[in-house]
Amino acid sequence: MRRRHRHRLLRPLVAFAAVTGIFATATPNADSTPLEGTSVASATTTVFYYTKTKNWPATYLHYAPDGGSWTTVPGVRMETACTDWVKETVDLGSAAGLQATFNNGSGTWDNNGGTNYALGTGTVTVKDGVVAHSDPCADTGTGTGNQATVYYSTATSGWSTANLHYAPTGGSWTTVPGVGMESACTGWWKRTVDLGTATTLEAAFNNGNGVWDNNNGGDYALGSGTTTVKDRTVTAGAADPCAAQAPDTQAPTTPTGVTASATGTSVVVSWKPATDDTAVTKYQLTRTGGTEGTVVTDVGSTVWSDTGLAEKTTYTYTVKAVDAAGNTSPASSAAPVTTGEKAPAPAAGTPLGTDPRKDPIYFVLTARFYDGDTSNDRGGSQDVTSGNAANNDPMFRGDFKGLVGKLDYIKALGFSAVWITPVVLNRSDYDYHGYHGYDFYKVDPRLESAGASYQDLINAAHAKGMKIYQDVVYNHSSRWGAKGLFTPTVYGVRDTQWSWYYDEKNAGFDYDGLTVEPKSGKSYYNGDLWSTAEPSGNTCLNWGKPTGGKSPEGYTLYNCQWPSPTSGMFPKAYYHQCWIGNWEGEDSRSCWLHEDLADFNTENATVQNYLIGAYDKYIDMGVDGFRVDTAVHIPRVTWNRRFLPAIHDRVTQRFGADAAKNFFVFGEVGAFVNDKWNRGSVNHSAQFFTWKERREYSADDEKAAIEQYDYEEQLGTGNQPTSANAFLNGNSYHTPDRSQFSGMNIIDMRMHMNFGDAQNAYNNGKDSDDSVNDATYNVVYVDSHDYGPNKSSTRYSGGTDAWAENMALMWTFRGIPTLYYGSEIEFQKGKQIDCGPTCPLAGTGRAYYGDHLAGGVTASDFGTVASASGEVATTLAQPLVKHLQRLNRIRRAIPALQSGQYSTDGITGSMAFKRRYTSGSTDSFALVTVTGGATYTGIPNGTYTDAVTGDVKTVSGGTLSVAAPGKGNLRVYVLNGPGKIGADGPYLK
Quick: pLDDT tens for 16-64. Answer: 222 222 223 233 333 332 333 333 345 789 999 999 889 899 999 999 9
Higher pLDDT, 769 or 30: 769
pLDDT given at position 607 = 96
Please, which pLDDT band fits residue 310 given cuts at 50, 70 and 90? very high
HSE, CB side, 13 Å, CA atoms: give it for residue 187: 15
Distance (Å, rounded) from C-alpha 921 to C-alpha 976? 14
Alpha-carbon separation of residue 32 from 105, 219, 232, 894 (angstroms): 46, 8, 18, 71
List pLDDT tens digits, range 372-420: 999 899 998 789 889 999 999 999 999 999 999 999 999 999 999 999 9
Q: Which amino acid is located at 834 in the chain?
A: D
Q: Which helix (H) or strand (E) holds 400?
A: helix 400-405
Cα 198 from chain centroid? 53
**Residues with Cβ < 8 Å from 565, sequence gap 6 or more?**
575, 576, 577, 578, 579, 591, 592, 598, 599
pLDDT given at position 456 = 96
Which of 337-341, 346-350, 359-363, 797-801 has the lowest average pLDDT?
346-350
Query: Is the pLDDT at 979 greater than 50, yes or no?
Result: yes
Interior angle at CA 785, CA 780 and CA 790, nearest 5: 60
Distance (Å, rounded) from C-alpha 882 to C-alpha 868? 14
Distance (Å, rounded) from C-alpha 16 to C-alpha 898? 42
Query: Is the pLDDT at 252 greater than 70, yes or no?
Result: yes
Mean predicted confidence (pLDDT) in 330-354? 90
pLDDT given at position 527 = 52
Q: Which residues share a beta bridge with 817?
A: 780
Question: What's 702's DSSP letter?
Answer: H
Mean predicted confidence (pLDDT) in 576-580? 95
- Taking alpha carbons only, the member of 592, 586, 591 closest to residue 709 is 586
Please, which pLDDT band fits residue 1 given cuts at 50, 70 and 90? very low
Query: Is the pLDDT at 496 greater than 80, yes or no?
Result: no
Is 308:343 a contact under the CB 8 Å cutoff?
no
Which of 488-492, 576-580, 697-701, 727-731 has the lowest average pLDDT?
488-492
Distance (Å, rounded) from C-alpha 692 to C-alpha 695? 9
Distance (Å, rounded) from C-alpha 631 to C-alpha 639? 9
Percent of the chain with pLDDT over 90: 70
pLDDT given at position 531 = 73
Is 459:444 a contact under the CB 8 Å cutoff?
no
Higher pLDDT, 566 or 381: 566
Mean predicted confidence (pLDDT) in 499-505? 70
pLDDT given at position 2 = 40
Query: Is the pLDDT at 120 greater than 90, yes or no?
Result: no
**Backbone phi, then psi, for 882, in 5-degree steps?**
-60, -40
**Residues with Cβ < 8 Å from 219, sequence gap 6 or more?**
28, 29, 32, 35, 202, 203, 204
Mean predicted confidence (pLDDT) in 494-519? 75
Buried/exposed 6-15: b ≥16 CB within 10 Å, e otherwise: eeeeeeebee
End-to-end CA distance of the chain: 38
Q: Which residues share a beta bridge with 202?
A: 167, 221
Query: Is the pLDDT at 856 greater than 70, yes or no?
Result: yes
Which of 84-93, 156-165, 244-253, 751-760 has the lowest average pLDDT?
156-165
Is 141:96 a contact under the CB 8 Å cutoff?
no
Which of 65-79, 429-443, 519-533, 775-789 has the lowest average pLDDT?
519-533
Question: What's 938's DSSP letter?
Answer: S
Is 479:562 a contact under the CB 8 Å cutoff?
yes
List pLDDT tens digits, range 870-899: 999 999 999 999 999 999 999 999 999 999
Distance (Å, rounded) from C-alpha 2 to C-alpha 430? 11
Query: Is the pLDDT at 476 greater than 50, yes or no?
Result: yes
Which of 144-153, 171-180, 490-499, 739-748 has the lowest average pLDDT?
490-499
pLDDT given at position 521 = 64
Residue 74: cis peptide before it, omega within 30 degrees of 0 = yes
pLDDT given at position 528 = 57
Q: What is the rounded average pLDDT for all residues in the chain? A: 90
Please, which pLDDT band fits residue 246 given cuts at 50, 70 and 90? confident
Query: Is the pLDDT at 87 greater than 80, yes or no?
Result: yes
Please, which pLDDT band fits residue 281 given cuts at 50, 70 and 90? confident
pLDDT given at position 814 = 98
Q: Which residues share a beta bridge with 558?
A: 546
Higher pLDDT, 531 or 818: 818
Distance (Å, rounded) from C-alpha 435 to C-alpha 593? 13
Percent of the chain with pLDDT over 70: 93
pLDDT given at position 160 = 80
Higher pLDDT, 455 or 130: 455
Distance (Å, rounded) from C-alpha 977 to C-alpha 626? 34
pLDDT given at position 622 = 97
Query: Is the pLDDT at 987 greater than 70, yes or no?
Result: yes
- Taking alpha carbons only, the member of 913, 893, 909 closest to residue 901 is 913
Please, which pLDDT band fits residue 72 given cuts at 50, 70 and 90? very high
- Alpha-carbon dihedral angle through residues 501, 506, 507, 509, given to the nearest 10 degrees: -80
Please, which pLDDT band fits residue 161 given cuts at 50, 70 and 90? confident
